[in-house]
Amino acid sequence: MKIVNQNIEIDGIDKAILRALMEDARTPILEIARNVGISGAAIHQRLRKLEKSELISGSKFVINPKILGYTTMAFVGIFLDKAMSNPDAVRQLKKIPEVLECHYTTGNWSILVKILCKDNEHLMQVLNKDIQTIPGVSRTETFISLDQQIDRQIKI
């Protein structure tokens, strides 16, 4: 069975390659080739096709932030005084290294950000000195994550 999207067709072999690399991006191509039953060159060709289609947007190492002393994860809902403030607010949020993600949302908040801090005191400093001082930010609402219980990508 082939999954067909307007940009790409992926088959069972593509899925097997993607699953292997999503599990461990350092899996050798030849190991994947042996498991899938095709040549290493064919794996490379398929990966180039998947990259060109933008289905694969890159690979990265995942750092364990706790080892670096970052133990407080929080989600901050940001209320803007007007929608026009969004682009400038996002530009300022990009300058704050503790901001890991920024989402333009529906509902009460204008923006939802995910931030990572060393501890609650660090979180308070980021909120008070960095986020709440951004022009256009009228107030924030903060939720501290006690534990990340699910961490996954979309299933292939």
> What is the CATH classification number for the domain harbouring 141?
3.30.70.920
Percent of the chain, pLDDT > 90? Answer: 85
User: CA 134, CA 121: separation in Å to the nearest integer?
Assistant: 19
Confirm whether 156 is domain-assigned. Answer: no
pTM for this predicted structure: 0.84
* pLDDT value, residue 59: 85
Token match 């929608």: residue? Answer: 83
Range of the domain at 24: 3-52
CA gap 98, 70 in Å, rounded: 10
Per-residue confidence (pLDDT) for residue 6, from 0 to 100: 61
Same domain, 48 and 72: no
pLDDT at 61: 87
| Nearest CA among 13, 78, 4 for reference residue 47 | 13
Return the pLDDT at 7. Answer: 63
What stretches in the chain show pLDDT beneath 50?
1
